[in-house]
Amino acid sequence: MPLFRKNERPAQPNLEQLLSEFNQSLTLIVDKQLLIGNIAAKVKQICPVESIYIFLLDENTGKYKQQNEAKNKPVTLTKRSRLTSWLSVNEKHLTVSEHPDIIAYFPPEEQEIVRQLGAELIFPLKVMNQINGTIFIGKKTDGTVFTPQELKLLSILINQATFAIEHASLYEIQTERLKKMYRTDRLATLGELAAGAAHEIRNPLTAIRSTIQYLSKDFNADPTKKEMMDELISEVERINKIVQGLLSFARPSELNTSEVNIEQLINQTLLLVTNTLRKQDIEVEFEYFTDNTTLQADTEQLKQVFLNIILNAVEAMSKNSSGHSRTLIISIEKGAPINTHSRYLIVSFEDTGKGIEQKDIENVFNPFFTTKEEGTGLGLAICYGIVKRHEGEIEVKSTPGKGTCINIKLPQRI
């Protein structure tokens, strides 16, 4: 006797096998991007759908960030959004077309998110009472509604995915922490060495410079010798600049702090490079997610940080090194609380330049690390020193060929 009558095929062949394979493969993947891709592919294998968007919580900002390829405008969902609260309280998925009443209860910007993502099903990724992410699934490509069996399977699959993502996130945090520890250690040692060397060089250098300047007067009459003296002076100036750079990287806490408005300071810094930006056809976009951009800092030092980072971005996007669009996005947003009276303010510079190769990422803060013919390799080392002195953090993320994002976290009183 046939197992199924004619025209009555099982709705989903081999589903048990599919789920079990999926479960096994998930536990092996610790790369979050790979995992996300895998989850999206499996959802589509269970039932072909028009779209699937996965958002995960960024603990730094309390916002959900879209993980897979974005075809839509950036969407802002936070832990406090009504949609997130609804998912948290109800602990199940929301079927959009069946619950216009619930959707209507969301504020207009959240309704817009649901609409923009073309969502039919919204699943929470819930771990220990926290919504760690959301998955927006579009309509089925064949236009039919989701069957109870499909919904059940999707729920099981997403449940498994939730734990795999949590596992991968913890692994990522742990790896990041270790890397940061090694980096801090290495840079502290390098800093001591650099500071020592710089101090030793500074005094004799001052003596050399003033002697050359004094002697050069005697050579004014002879153009060849005068040129040689000028050359000497400019070489000494170059050494002096390097020594100053090393000291900016390594000098212990020497801050001249006052109340600084970061937004204004960024604008002032941009004014210094207006011409270069215009020449290189670079567009600057701002995304400010907080009204309070004021904090205690050393204006001059922070200006130097912003300038170094902007110049690096400009160099990475310069016309001879990248063919695609040249945009620098500068954003300021509230970060996670540090304690009861302060939190981080996060300032990000995201460029569309040539990016940094994986093997170089760990070295960019090292003094003298450069991939440029004319580079000194001190820019980011100086930034690191200054940000550390402000009790902040600086991190770099980059995709070769796509661009680089430098995040600076600075403590701000609340």
Which chain residues interact with ligand ADP by CB under 6 A? Answer: 308, 312-313, 316, 351, 353-356, 364, 369-372, 375-381, 404
Q: Which does 376 bind (CB under 5 to 8 A by kind): ligand ADP, Mg ion, none?
A: ligand ADP
Q: Output the smallest distance, CB 253 to Mg ion, in A.
A: 24
Residue type, 329: I
Q: Which is nearer to ligand ADP, 137 or 381 (CB)?
A: 381
Binding to Mg ion in span 311-350, by CB under 5 A: 312
Q: Which candidate, 167, 97, 103, places its Cα nearest to that of 132? A: 167
Q: Output the smallest distance, CB 291 to ligand ADP, in A.
A: 28
260 CB-near residues (< 8 Å, 6+ apart): 294, 295, 296, 297, 299, 302
Q: Which does 377 bind (CB under 5 to 8 A by kind): Mg ion, ligand ADP, none?
A: ligand ADP
Question: Does residue 371 contact residue 360 with C-beta atoms inside 8 Å?
Answer: yes
Element (H, E) at 361: helix 358-361
Supply 178's token pair. Answer: 């270790």
Q: Which does 93 bind (CB under 5 to 8 A by kind): Mg ion, ligand ADP, none?
A: none
Q: Which does 372 bind (CB under 5 to 8 A by kind): ligand ADP, Mg ion, none?
A: ligand ADP
Q: Which is nearer to ligand ADP, 211 or 399 (CB)?
A: 399
Q: Which candidate, 257, 286, 258, 259, places its Cα nearest to that of 270? A: 286
Residue type, 61: T
Supply 50's token pair. Answer: 């028009």
Stretch that binds Mg ion, among 1-9, 15-23, 236-244, 309-317 (CB under 5 A): 309-317
Q: Output the smallest distance, CB 295 to ligand ADP, in A.
A: 24
Orientation of helix 379-389 relative to helix 299-317, angle to 10°: 150
Q: Which is nearer to ligand ADP, 113 or 405 (CB)?
A: 405
> Does 385 help bind Mg ion (rule: CB under 5 A)?
no
Q: Which candidate, 347, 328, 332, places its Cα nearest to that of 285? A: 328
> Burial of 155 by CB count in 10 Å (0-12 exposed, 13-18 middle, 19+ buried)?
middle
Question: Cα 109 vs. chain centroid, distance in angstroms?
Answer: 25
- Closest-CB residue for ligand ADP? 379
Q: Output the smallest distance, CB 353 to ligand ADP, in A.
A: 5
Q: Output the smallest distance, CB 348 to ligand ADP, in A.
A: 12
Q: Which is nearer to ligand ADP, 126 or 354 (CB)?
A: 354
Q: Which is nearer to ligand ADP, 161 or 313 (CB)?
A: 313
3-class state of residue 78 by DSSP: strand
Q: Output the smallest distance, CB 390 to Mg ion, in A.
A: 19
Question: Does residue 406 contact residue 309 with C-beta atoms inside 8 Å?
Answer: yes
Beta bridge partners of 49: 140
Residue type, 376: T
Q: Which of 245, 379, 392, 411 binds Mg ion (CB under 5 A)?
A: 379
Q: Which is nearer to ligand ADP, 377 or 411 (CB)?
A: 377
Q: Which is nearer to ligand ADP, 184 or 376 (CB)?
A: 376
Q: How many CB atoms lie within 10 A of CB 119?
A: 26
Q: Which residue has the tokens 């060397």?
A: 197
Q: Output the smallest distance, CB 380 to Mg ion, in A.
A: 6
Q: Which is nearer to Mg ion, 166 or 360 (CB)?
A: 360
Q: Output the smallest distance, CB 59 to Mg ion, in A.
A: 30
Beta bridge partners of 328: 284, 351
Q: Which does 335 bind (CB under 5 to 8 A by kind): ligand ADP, Mg ion, none?
A: none
Residues near Mg ion, by CB under 5 A:
312, 379
